[in-house]
Structures are given as C-alpha cells and as structure tokens.
Structure 1
Amino acid sequence: MSLPSSQVEIDDASLQVTPVTTRAQHDAFIRLPGRLYRDDPQWVEPLHFERRQHLSSKNPVFEHLDWQGWLAWRSGKPVGRIGAQVDRLHRQYHGDDTGQFGLLDAVDDPAVFSALFNAAEGWLASRGARRITGPFNLTINDECGLLVEGFDTPPVMMMGHAPPYSALRLEGQGYAAAKDLLAYWMRVDTLAFTPAMRRMIERWHHRVHVRPLDRRRFDQEMTTLREIFNDAWARNWGFTPFTEAEFRAMGADLKRLVPPDLIQIAEVDGEPAAFIVGLPNLNELIAPLNGQLLPLGWLKLLWGIKMRKVRTGRVPLMGVRQAYQFSRLGPTLALVLIEAIQQSFLKQGIESIEMSWILEDNAGMRNILENIGAYSYKRYRLYEKTL
C-alpha cells in the first residue's frame, strides 16, 4: 500500500484530514462507522476483527490493488473516513485512467465530505486516475454501492447501510449516478412459479440436472464456480474477475459458514453451466455484538450459530454461462437453481431471503424475480466522476 506523507490542507482550521498509517489509525478507521451510526436503529456494526482482516495484507485482493485510507478529525475526534484504491486488474479491463473510492462514512457536514474527497481524488490523480467510480469496499466483488432507498430495514450480511444524507453530500462533490443496484426481498415459503415457468422447466428437464456442491471435491468445485462466475459476469458493467487466490479465500469462508446444500450447481448434459449460493443472514447474530468479539462476544456468536435459528438469508452469487444466457435454456437454469435453493433454505428454517444485488437494467432477472413473488425493497447506487 502506498502512503502519502502529509495531511491535507483545508480552510477550516478545526478540520484535519490525515492518512491512515498506524495501527491506532487503522483501528479508529474501522470503529468510526459505529460511532457515527450508533443511534440508527437499523445499523449493524460489522465485526471489527473481520474488517481488520479485510484491510490487511492477508486479503489476496492486495495482490493487484493499492489502497489508502484517510480520517477526518475535528477537535481531536474522528468525524469522517474514506478509502481510495487503484486496481491494476480493473485497469486491464477498463483502462489505465480508472480509480475507485469506498469505505465512505462521515457526519452530515459538506466541509467534511469535501475534505475527504480532496484527499482521495488527489491521491488517485497522482496515480493517473481520471475516471473515479464508487463506492467499492474494496472491489465490485465486495460490498459496493451507496444505499439511496430502503433506510427503514437493516442490511443483510455483506450489504451496506448509510444515512440518507450521504447521497446528497456525495452528489455535492460532483459525482453522478453511474449504475443502480437493487436488492429483492421474498418469503421463501410463498415462492411460486407460474404455469409458463413450470412448462419451461419440464421442457428441459431431460437435459438439466441440479445438485448440491460436493464437499469431497471442494477445491475442484470452487474452481468450477469461479470459471462460471467469471464467464457469466464478463459483460456486466464494471466487471473485474475473481482471481484464483480471491476465490480460494472466499471458498474457505463458505466451507466454514454455509451448509453444502446452500450451494447448488446446474448441469446441462452433464457439464456445469450455472450455480447459486445462499447464505444464512449472520447479521441477525452479529447485530447485538456492536462489532466486538471480546470479552464475551465470541461466545454469544457461537451460541447463536449453534442454538438459535437464523430466520433470514441472502443469495449473493448466481451465474449462468454466457452460452446459455440469451437462449431459452438460460431462464430455465435460473429457475431450477432458485427452486433448489428454496428447498435448502426451508430445511434450514429460513423464512425470508434477500436476492442481491441485481443491476437495475438486468430486465431478464428482474422479471423472473418479480414473477415468483419477490419485490425490490432497497436501492444502492454506484457513482462516477471525471477529474
């Protein structure tokens, strides 16, 4: 990680922005959102341990990404934060003049937002960035987008939350909407396919087979899922592929947290063609911990995982190979996977799920979801600016 050597100069004498360089500053950076949003009843504090891991050199994303964070201070207290990153892998796909921002949280003060973005944009510009997009925490394959609709419900696992003023302050810095991402909500037990959908599934049942992930061949299965995902998403806005190391790290988390039948693979004529991943919404268990695993938080979390039923879930990953996306078989693959994951969620006692995120202009997927009883309930926005 490349680090600037001096703090940002700004007009407000009581306001300073400093680069995050020390362990204490990293700790303040991670803890700041909890201080800002502790009175928001929908806020769920991420586990500080997990956030430290995410921003540590152990995260394989740093094999191709340079990141810097800043804190804004007023009267000795942190009042805002921002991160900026140059992703060399992203630049291979989208140009050498790209850069991103993320991990944006601040008090409702235009001066604080301005100071933070001055620091981030200056750092990015010095590294050749002229087109800035975000927020990404840290890539498009992580938590991304700023919440702009749906503030009245808590976020599910690995999705963000922000106060309503953040979008206004971000737009005040010259950023405009680039893409909107939608989160859909649905009751698992009321999911129902239309007669036309049933006929479609029946038409292809002799060629399509759905099975759960085989834990005996876990590494091989992860390779298959990565290949499908990188092919399925290659034409999407802002696409950056998962590297082998990134997917291996994600696979380790899935192996610990996700029952095998919450990962379903659809095969066409015996060849893997699509997949879907479901997650129990661990935010239900994390919310009371306020980010802390010590002194007793880890016991509460373990007790919750073992003894308490999680009632909600999320589908964060789904992919259909491009060869089938624009054929009649494409929607069928999506439907049989959704039906399989429905049964798996019901076995786990999960009552409702979020399907997220879905690009607003992905008309095909939105049509499927809305026809089986899901409805859009949150909107996240990705912004862009030309320097």
Structure 2
Amino acid sequence: MANAPLAIRPVSSKADTRDFIELAYRLNRGDPNWVPPLRSEVAAAINPKKNGWFSHAEAQLFLAERDGRPVGRIAAHIDRLALEMPAEQGFGPGTGFFGLFEAEDANVARALMNTAQDWLRKKGMTRVVGPVSLSIWEEPGLLVQGHDHPPTVMMGHHKPAYRNYIEDAGFAPVKQLKTYELDITREFPPLVQRIIALGEKNDRIRIRTVDKSRFAEEAAIILAILNDAWSDNWGFVPLTPPEIDDVGKKLKPIVFEKLIRIAELDGEPVAFMITLPDLNEAIAPLHGNLFPLGWAKLLWWLHRGKARTMRVPLMGVLKKLQGSRMASQLAFMMIEYIRRDAVADFGASRGEIGWVLDDNQGMNAIAETIESRVNRVYQIYAKELG
C-alpha cells in the first residue's frame, strides 16, 4: 500500500541482490518497448568480481520496501578515474553518481534520491551526476524522447515519469545524448558518394576489416584510438584493460569482422568504427531468461547472424586529424563499407548511430549528411550536494 511505511536499506545479501534485479522486470512488465535484459548479464554487471569497472570504482546498491515488498532501487557510486578528469569535461573532483534507478512512485523516488545523496556526501562527494548505470560507457542518461520504440543493444529504456521524479528532486539537465536512425538500404547522397570515391583513389588510405583471430591485438588498437579520440569529450573516462576484457567476452559472439573497420593512413591506424547487430531483437522474447529454451533461440540467432537493425555504438578518429577533411572522409568510407555489408550479408535494413553528444558538431554533421534523424534522446542530470 502507498501509505505503508517506506524502508530503504543497503543491498547486503543474495536475496537482496535477487530482489534488486527482479524489481525492474516487475515495474517495466507492462511496457511493450522495454527489452528485458538477461538476468545473468545484470547480475554480472553489479558483481565486483565480474565487472572490470569495479577495478577503479565502488558502488552501494539500495533497495526500497513497503511491507517487505520491493518498490524501488538505486545505486550510488564513485569512479576514481572520473574524479581525476578535468571538471570542465563534466566530472572531476567531488563528483559521484547515481544509476540503476527504478521507483514505483514519486515518494519512493524522492527517498531513494536522498539516500544515494547521503551516501555520496558521507564519502566526501560534493556533486552528483546521473543516471549513469554504472559506467559512462554502459547505459548513461535518462530516456526523454523515443519511448515509442524499443532500444537497441546496450541502450536504456525508462518510464516517462522518471523525468519528473529526477527533476523534482532538484536535479538539472547538463548534457543530452542522441541516437540517430536511418534506412541503410538507401544509398547515401551524391556528395557522400563523391567523397568516398575520392578516398578510394588515395593510396595513403586503407580501410580494413578486423581480424577476429587476433581479437586481443585488434581490441588494443581500437582502445588506443578510442582513448585518444574521445579524451576531450564531455564525460570522458578512459576505458581500462579489465573493462575491455569484459566487453570482449560479452560482445565477441556478435562481433563480425565485416562490421568493424579500422582506417589506416600511411600504414598507421587512425580511426575505427564498430557496428553490432541488434542483440535486443533476439533477447526481447526471452523475458530475461536463457533457460529452459532461451539459450537455444539465442544460439540460433547468433549462428544466423541476421538482424534488421545495426547499431554503431563507437566511432573515433585520432585527435590530430579531428576537424580535417581527412577525418570526415575516413568516417564516410567506413560507414559506407559497413552499410553495404550489413545489407548484403546480414539482411539489415535499419541503422542506429549513437549515442552522440549534443555538442559533438563533427559527428552530428556526419549523421545529418547521411540523412539520418534523431530517434532517441537521453538526458544526464547533475546536482550540487549541500
């Protein structure tokens, strides 16, 4: 009952952890566009022994209950690498986070927010940013536009009411992240085709697929470009080797060589583009369970390698080339080559790019030039801790 006393306590047992995980399935069950994540993946994400993010971070999970029944949850967390970042890039000294937020009603939300802020304050934090669940590289931001269709792989989906809950708690928007969608069965505009054709005549440029048999070596090349390319971006926190290892294990089954390109200039790797088939198409019908038959359905989907939607979660070009015509040319070439193969070999018809920072002029311009449109917007909030 809504009038029953509300209790909030730290998650401290296996039973608590199970309740923390299961709450999201109950609260979102009626939303046809919410994709139930695999329970095993959620459990691994919040387990310090199974998530490399915890090598430089700590988190406390909280559960809200009425009459012993879970009605809300939240994580309060501190990322030591984020504390080392320049404050003008969004995080920096004194910045803590909240995430993994779910609430049955406004009163529960308010109590959870207060609890997370109290924990962060006691840890010496002076500011809180969120929702970020848990790493900025995982599911950052609250969905504020695009509730009418399901998210793609590794993107969040939230109740519209959560926006009011967060803003009523005194949080103000600080950044928007956008995703773009496009029909990839259509060729790009003539201007883009001319840029690509010129690049193909340039002997200095090589656009290659990755070699999955050298997975660790290729991942290291991409990580080096990524950490350089994104280092000046708002919210940047360097990805670490333990996190890359985790991502590699998690995503290796949906890593296809033709969908990941590395651009070389004079033999030097200078840019990359990662594309993933939308795994959510396969896991949505499983209701979060691999057993008894979910694993077989998932294996069949992975074996076929067919997907309607392809998501581009990451692109990057070395800082020394950013803002140049060469950077745009390399980007268009990688996008076009992957587009062709996604349609021809994987039966894809739809692409999604993002997330993209609202002030990333270069990437937003590329998205607009290939005639994509914004389909989802995520908002990140911040609040000073008094």
Considering the TM-score relative to the shorter chain, is it more than 0.5? yes
CA distance in structure 1 between the partners assigned to 2:306 and 2:237 by the alignment: 35
Alignment match of 1:327 (pick from 320, 324, 328): 324
CA distance in structure 2 between the partners assigned to 1:289 and 1:196 by the alignment: 40
Structure 1 match to 2:236: 239
Q: Secondary structure at the match of 1:238?
A: coil
Alignment match of 1:118 (pick from 114, 127, 147): 114
The aligned amino acid for 2:249 is A
| Deviating more after overlay: 330-339 vs 166-175 | 330-339
CA distance in structure 1 between the partners assigned to 2:354 and 2:306 by the alignment: 22
CA distance in structure 2 between the partners assigned to 1:195 and 1:49 by the alignment: 46
CA distance in structure 1 between the partners assigned to 2:176 and 2:243 by the alignment: 25
Is residue 360 of structure 2 the alignment partner of residue 362 of structure 1? yes
CA distance in structure 1 between the partners assigned to 2:106 and 2:41 by the alignment: 30
Assess if the C-alpha contact under 8 Å between 2:277 and 2:306 holds in 1. Answer: no
Q: Secondary structure at the match of 2:166?
A: helix
- Could you tell me how far 1:336 is from its partner in structure 2? 1.0
Matches within 5 A, 1:219-298: 219-298=216-295
Is residue 84 of structure 2 the alignment partner of residue 92 of structure 1? yes
Assess if the C-alpha contact under 8 Å between 2:55 and 2:242 holds in 1. Answer: no
- Could you tell me how far 1:201 is from its partner in structure 2? 5.3
Matches within 5 A, 1:124-139: 124-139=120-135
CA distance in structure 2 between the partners assigned to 1:350 and 1:110 by the alignment: 41
Structure 2 match to 1:7: none
- Could you tell me how far 1:226 is from its partner in structure 2? 0.4
Structure 2 match to 1:4: none
CA distance in structure 1 between the partners assigned to 2:149 and 2:4 by the alignment: 38
Alignment match of 2:25 (pick from 29, 34, 41): 34
The aligned amino acid for 1:26 is T
Flag the 1:159–1:196 CA change in 2: closer, same or farther, 3 A.
closer
Structure 1 match to 2:338: 341
Q: C-alpha deviations, 1:45-90, integer Å up to 9, x for none?
A: 0000011111112211111100011111122221111101111111
The aligned amino acid for 2:362 is G
Q: C-alpha deviations, 1:130-165, integer Å up to 9, x for none?
A: 111111111111111100001100111110001111
Alignment match of 2:190 (pick from 190, 194, 198): 194
CA distance in structure 2 between the partners assigned to 1:199 and 1:292 by the alignment: 46
Q: Secondary structure at the match of 2:148?
A: coil
Assess if the C-alpha contact under 8 Å between 1:96 and 1:128 holds in 2. Answer: no
Structure 1 match to 2:88: none
- Could you tell me how far 1:302 is from its partner in structure 2? 1.9
Is residue 73 of structure 2 the alignment partner of residue 81 of structure 1? yes
Structure 2 match to 1:62: 54
- Could you tell me how far 1:182 is from its partner in structure 2? 0.4
Assess if the C-alpha contact under 8 Å between 2:323 and 2:362 holds in 1. Answer: no
CA distance in structure 2 between the partners assigned to 1:95 and 1:281 by the alignment: 33
Is residue 47 of structure 2 the alignment partner of residue 50 of structure 1? no
Flag the 1:349–1:230 CA change in 2: closer, same or farther, 3 A.
same
TM (norm. structure 1) is: 0.93
Q: Secondary structure at the match of 1:235?
A: coil
What fraction of aligned residue pairs are identical, expressed as a percent?
A: 43
Is residue 18 of structure 2 the alignment partner of residue 22 of structure 1? no
- Could you tell me how far 1:15 is from its partner in structure 2? 1.0
CA RMSD of superposed structures (Å): 1.7
The aligned amino acid for 2:141 is G
Alignment match of 1:140 (pick from 136, 141, 144): 136
CA distance in structure 2 between the partners assigned to 1:141 and 1:285 by the alignment: 22
Q: C-alpha deviations, 1:312-370, integer Å up to 9, x for none?
A: 12111111110111222111121111112112211211111211101111122112111
CA distance in structure 2 between the partners assigned to 1:305 and 1:281 by the alignment: 11
CA distance in structure 2 between the partners assigned to 1:298 and 1:199 by the alignment: 44
Runs of at least 5 residues in structure 1 that lack an aligned partner in the other structure: 1-11
Structure 1 match to 2:307: 310
- Could you tell me how far 1:256 is from its partner in structure 2? 2.4
CA distance in structure 2 between the partners assigned to 1:196 and 1:41 by the alignment: 37
CA distance in structure 2 between the partners assigned to 1:273 and 1:125 by the alignment: 42
Assess if the C-alpha contact under 8 Å between 1:90 and 1:240 holds in 2. Answer: yes
CA distance in structure 1 between the partners assigned to 2:349 and 2:317 by the alignment: 26
Structure 2 match to 1:175: 171
- Could you tell me how far 1:252 is from its partner in structure 2? 2.8
- Could you tell me how far 1:199 is from its partner in structure 2? 3.7
CA distance in structure 2 between the partners assigned to 1:221 and 1:193 by the alignment: 31
- Could you tell me how far 1:308 is from its partner in structure 2? 7.7
Q: C-alpha deviations, 1:84-128, integer Å up to 9, x for none?
A: 111111111143311011101112x22111110111111111111
Assess if the C-alpha contact under 8 Å between 1:213 and 1:263 holds in 2. Answer: yes
CA distance in structure 2 between the partners assigned to 1:131 and 1:356 by the alignment: 27
Q: Which runs of 4+ in 1 moved over 6 A?
A: none
